[in-house]
Amino acid sequence: MAATAKFSLARPVRHFFQKHFERWLARRIPNQPEHQLNSRNIMIYPTRFGLAYLGFVVLVFLLGTNYQNNIILLFSYLLASLFISVMLHSFYNFSQLRFYSVAKQQGYAEQPLYFVIKITTEKTHYDINAHFTDKALNSQVEKIELCQQGSHELRLVYRTLQRGKHWLGRVTVFSEYSLGLFKSKSILDFGHFAIIYPKAKSLIAGQYQLSGQADEPSIDSYQSTNSVGTDDFSELKSFVRGESKARTAWKQLAKGQGHYSKHYQAEQSQLQWLKLSEMPSNDVEIQLAYLSFLIGELTASNQSFGLQLSAELSNQSMNISPNSGFHHQQACLTALALYS
């Protein structure tokens, strides 16, 4: 009983300290894309081995004193001062490192995201480790054993199932170089966050294609008026790999004038909007997953599309007007990720 009471008392206290520590940290090491380590942002403290070593030195001192043995005393003094010089070495090994990292990374859920931390050094450093400070992220410690003059890269992996925008917090960088007696550590804030897109869930192939035969029933939900004959032919463009063979201008090809594909006005106007409400599922997450897949596919085939997440067309923040290309894809996927 007493233990639980103690625990309940300890928690707010710990919480209080943590809060203050975080505030202090935010002042001390503010959010920056680039950090250089110096005495302002390096924390250095003995490791458990360091403390054990100190105890050991005291033991040797006792041995020397009890035997009135000057050499053993000298031995213990030497080990004690080694403790201090190792601390300084540890500090100098760690200082003057420069870290640079881009704050934002985006990717699909369940896929690993790599946060690259660039390290530039002016001399050789040893045993540089990094991981996300947040323990809940279970981030593995990435290590550079030998950091020679020049630049190096550390890649922190982040992987999650949950779509959305995730703040990853600070990155702990530490080194136990020299003898493992001290841990030099810095908790850098690059403002890392991850935009996690919903994992693409494939609709059966052909659902979104411009094929004349709409054999899938589900496709009718948003391609109901679509048929080849009624489209207004607009232009011929050079064939781009990945385009549907159905659009090939066979006449021109047969004449040997080159491989062209026909482009239709109506096709674009009809497929202009990917609508959340029209996705074949009741679960929003699955609907988003379908959309994620469709966005990828449409971008791959270089088609133009818009994204409509809310029913009202006027809602500018939820709807993205038709466009194509990489940036458009990113914008759409981000919108999916942030949909709530």
Partner 1 sequence: MIFFKNKSKKVSADTVGGVKRQTKSKAKSNFYLSRKNAWLLWLCQCLNISVIALELSTWMLAIIALSLAWQALLLHQGREKGNSLSKNNPATGQTHRKNSRQDHQHIFRQSIGQNTRQKKQQATNVSPIVLGIFALLGCVAIVITAKQVGILASMLHLLCFSYALKGFELRSRSDFYQLQLLGLFVLAASLIFRQDLAFSLITFALLVLNLAVLLQFFSFEKAFVTNIKVVIVLLGQSAILAIVLFLVFPRLSPFWQVPLAKSAETGLSDTVKPGDIANLTRSTKLAFRADFGQQKVPNYSLLYWRAMVLEEYDGRQWSRQHKSTRNKTAVAAKNFSFDNSATEISPLSYQVIVEPSFQKYLFALAPAVVTGDAKGIQAQADHTFNNSKIISQAKSYRLTSYLTAPLTLELTKQSRQLNLSYPQGSNPRLEQLALQLQHNYVDVQARAQAVLNIINKENYSYTLQPPLLDNNSLDQFFFDTQAGFCVHYASVFTFVMRASGIPARMVTGYLGGEYNGVTNTGDNTGQLANKGHLSIYQYDAHAWSEIWVEGKGWLRVDPTSAVDPERVNSGWSTQLLQQQSELNNDLFSLYRMKNIAWLNALRLQFDALDYQWTRWVIGFTSKQQYDLFKNWFGKMVSWKLALIIAVSLVISMSMLMLFLHLLNRSKTKPQSLTKWQVIYQKAMGKLAKQGMEKPLSMTVNDFAKQVRQQCPELAIVFTRLSASYNRLCYQMLSTNEQEKLMLTMQQQYQQFVQVLKIIDKKSSRLYSYI
Residue 316 burial (10 A CB sphere; 0-12, 13-18, 19+): exposed
- Residues that bind partner 1 in the complex, under the rule CB under 8 A: 48-49, 52-53, 56, 59-60, 62-82, 84-86, 88-89, 92, 95-96, 122-123, 126-127, 134, 136-138, 140-141, 145-146, 159-162, 164, 166-167, 176-180
- Report d(CA 211, CA 225) in Å as an integer: 13
Spell out the residues 6+ positions from residue 209 whose beta carbon is closer than 8 angstroms to its own: 244, 246
| DSSP output for 3-33 | HHHHHHHHHHHHHHHHHHHHHHHHHHS---S
- Report d(CA 45, CA 179) in Å as an integer: 13
| CB nearer partner 1, residue 56 or residue 250 | 56
| CB nearer partner 1, residue 70 or residue 282 | 70
Reduced to 3 states (helix: H, G, I; strand: E, B; else coil), residue 276 is helix
| CB nearer partner 1, residue 41 or residue 90 | 90
What's the closest the beta carbon of residue 129 comes to partner 1, in angstroms?
11
| CB nearer partner 1, residue 137 or residue 253 | 137
What's the closest the beta carbon of residue 323 comes to partner 1, in angstroms?
31
Closest Cα partner for 122 from 87, 97, 102?
A: 97
What's the closest the beta carbon of residue 70 comes to partner 1, in angstroms?
5
E strand or H helix that includes residue 241: none
What's the closest the beta carbon of residue 83 comes to partner 1, in angstroms?
8
What's the closest the beta carbon of residue 333 comes to partner 1, in angstroms?
19
| CB nearer partner 1, residue 193 or residue 264 | 193
